[in-house]
Amino acid sequence: MNELEIFKKKLIYRSNYRGSKEMDILLSEFVRKHINKFNKAQLNELDKFLDFEDGIILNYYHHGIAEKNIDKNKVSKIFKNYFV
């Protein structure tokens, strides 16, 4: 397994175990759908995106409230337009 595949597995894991069931489902489905389409730069943005707290991600997704510069992350814009 190469370094990129290991990185992808870590991102999938992080998206699956957020702490709340809603975020586990929402983020894990988003990551699984997009992870193989993302290039290395986008994967790095995804890594940064997963660093945001659940509340910040949910407020951005549901209400468009951009806290802590979440709207500056390129993956967050893709996520904002994602529908389960």
**28, amino acid identity:** S
| pLDDT at residue 83 is higher than 80 | no
3-state secondary structure of 68: coil
Q: Cα separation of 51 and 29, whole Å?
A: 17
pLDDT digits (tens, 9 = 90+) for 39-77: 999 999 999 999 999 999 999 999 999 999 999 999 999
| pLDDT at residue 81 is higher than 90 | no
